Amino acid sequence: MPARTGRPPKISRADIVTAAHRVIEEDGVASLTMRRLAREVGSTAMALYHHVRDKEELLLLLLDDYAAGHARPAEEELPGEPRERVVAVATAMREALAGCPWIVDVLRADDLLSVGGLWYPEKIIDAALAAGLAMEDAVSAYRIIWHYTAGEIGARAAAAGRRAEGGSTYRERVFAELDADAFPRLAEVGPRWAELTARDTYDRGLRALVAGLLP
């Protein structure tokens, strides 16, 4: 007589969100499929569709869950001066996203977003308006700051992953053997290239951007 398998275990949206975060942390957002997620929660893909319509809705849940779990600066903690306010909000945005770089990849597609995460563009655009920019220019300023921040997070995450693999990189080997006649400046700095380019220059770059964007 065949063994009875019984009903699949009951699952909740919270179970699904937790398992989805686990899949992404282990193998990246590209590996997150309904079939893979079903295996993680010990259920079937069909059972998941009772809770989430598709992968897009699942990603929205993850974005909202992540946004809800990260405290933002209180209004009274933000500087009153517009330029410093932009710097403070952009820095908080970077800190919130740096620990979860896959979210940056999702947001850069300019489709999915968390309503909770809209606090950052709201505050940056408001500060840009207070500095004297027109609305169109304020939005452009935010977008420039966002692309700078997203690019910096992505580059640092990629570099950290490469360093975790160990061994020298192709770039390090190239810089170690540069022709000093063809590239005198780069050859001079070559031995320190990895050290210098690993420095955190986000604040310096952000302030330069803000100084150029805001009157």
Please write the tens of the pLDDT for every residue from 145-185.
999 999 999 988 887 777 777 767 888 889 888 999 999 99
Burial 127-142 (b: 16+ CB within 10 A, else e): bbbbbebeeebbbebb
H helix intervals, 70-176: 82-98, 101-107, 119-130, 135-164, 170-176
- Answer for the pair 66, 34: CB distance below 8 angstroms, yes or no: no
Q: How confident is the model at residue 141 (pLDDT cuts 50, 70, 90)?
A: very high
**Measured between alpha carbons, how far is residue 110 from residues 97, 102, 103, 147 in Å?**
16, 14, 12, 11
Handedness of CA 54, 56, 58, 60 (dihedral sign): negative
The pLDDT mean for the chain works out to: 88
Q: For the segment 39-77, what is each residue's pLDDT rounded down to a tens digit?
A: 998 888 888 888 888 888 888 888 888 888 888 999 999
Contact between 63 and 108 under an 8 Å Cβ cutoff? The reply is no
pLDDT confidence of residue 3: 43
Distance (Å, whole) CA 77 – CA 74: 5
The Cα–Cα gap between 34 and 54 comes to 8
User: In this structure, are residues 138 and 129 in contact, taking their beta carbons and an 8 Å threshold?
Assistant: yes
